[in-house]
Amino acid sequence: MASLADKFSYVFGMDGGGTKMTGCLLRRDGELLALGQAPPANYAKLRGEIAQPLLQFLRVLQRQAQLPETKIALAGICSTGVGRAGDRQILTEALQQVSLAEKVVVESDAMSALTGAFAGRPGVIVIAGTGAVAYARTPAGKHIRVGGWGYLIGDEGSGYSLARQAINAALQSWDGRGEATGLRQAFEKHFGVSSIEAIISHIYAPQYDRGQMAALAPIVFEQAGAGDRVAQRVVAETGFELGRLAQAAVKKFESKEIIEVALLGNLFRRAEALLPSFWHALGEEKTRVRVVAPQFEAALGAALLALQAEGLVWNESFLAQLKTSYQRMQSAK
């Protein structure tokens, strides 16, 4: 394998989800030069047209790092919706057409999150953002995926699913099918309507997307914290579904040793509300699980993934430099 000093002076890493893009620029010695975020560019909607927003984002990071706005050597681009080979090919060709980088590595956002969380080591991630999925790397290097089948047929445990269930419960309360809940008044206030059924025109508007739906999750957590039984039930069901993702991934590990699990995504900012039912869903497998903080965020994972795909070694010196510069940049925010 080549060493990092042989090629690729700068590496662009980008992770794109339903609510935002995050990106970074690394120097070949592991020094983090720029770290930022931008509005989401959804591959499912934009397809190849996503290339232009990504190029613009790279230019922003180059200015932040005080680097020339020229084509860089290597880019790791990880986005929701590109977990299949055909979609990766579409995006790769689009990025080549706008000359994003000399070499582009395209993968799913689950892979960037997994690589960043454990810096290539074995472990399980459970992502609960706009969507929900578990991804794992075993000690033998095998990759495992659980869930993440999209909002139309899956994504149980996601912010989108949580908000959808809560709105449904509020509407059932209004039409007489469901239990009375403070969610009804909370959503009326949020959307600025006098009656809950009027939010339908907002939700079914062409511009209203999954990310906006998922962004309603804090309302549900607030109502649950205030003692609303319906909201508490929705939150508990969400935590349970996330625990089921983790359980299925852990069961596929051949080793019986302790397995590290990192909990990622905006929904886990309220981990205290989700974890009781999360642990319940794990059942007997919880004795094998240790929850840990991710080592790096997903954008850095995307850059590491690109380096790995090119056969480049990340040694301890490189990872130490990356960790030090990452912590320095985090503390400067």
- CATH number for the domain including 53? 3.30.420.40
**Domain match, 82 and 219 both:** no
Q: What is the SS3 string spanning 88-117?
A: HHHHHHHHHHCCCEEEEEEEEHHHHHHHHH
**Domain match, 36 and 139 both:** no
Which distant-in-sequence residues (6+ apart) come within 8 Å of 230 by Cβ?
A: 166, 169, 173, 178, 179, 181, 183, 223
What DSSP character marks residue 333? -
**Domain match, 185 and 277 both:** yes
**Domain match, 62 and 203 both:** no
pLDDT tens across 76-132, in order?
A: 998 877 777 888 888 888 888 888 888 999 888 888 999 999 998 899 999 998 889
Q: Nearest 5 degrees, angle CA 290-CA 291-CA 293?
A: 135
**Domain match, 167 and 227 both:** yes
**Domain match, 20 and 78 both:** yes
**Domain match, 156 and 285 both:** yes
Characterize the bridge pairing of strands 21-27 and 259-264.
unpaired
φ and ψ of 294, to 5 deg: -65, 145
**Domain match, 224 and 144 both:** yes
Quote the pLDDT of residue 258: 92
Count the domains in the chain: 2
Quote the pLDDT of residue 59: 92
Full-model pTM: 0.81
Characterize the bridge pairing of strands 132-137 and 123-128.
antiparallel
**Domain match, 280 and 319 both:** no
**Domain match, 147 and 206 both:** yes
Residues of the chain with pLDDT under 70: 1-8, 18, 313, 333
**Domain match, 176 and 272 both:** yes
Residue 139 structural domain:
127-292
Quote the pLDDT of residue 5: 42
Quote the pLDDT of residue 1: 38
Q: Indicate the angle between helix axes 159-175 and 183-191, nearest 10 degrees.
A: 110
Quote the pLDDT of residue 7: 47
**Domain match, 254 and 150 both:** yes
The rounded radius of gyration (Å) of the Cα atoms in the chain is: 21
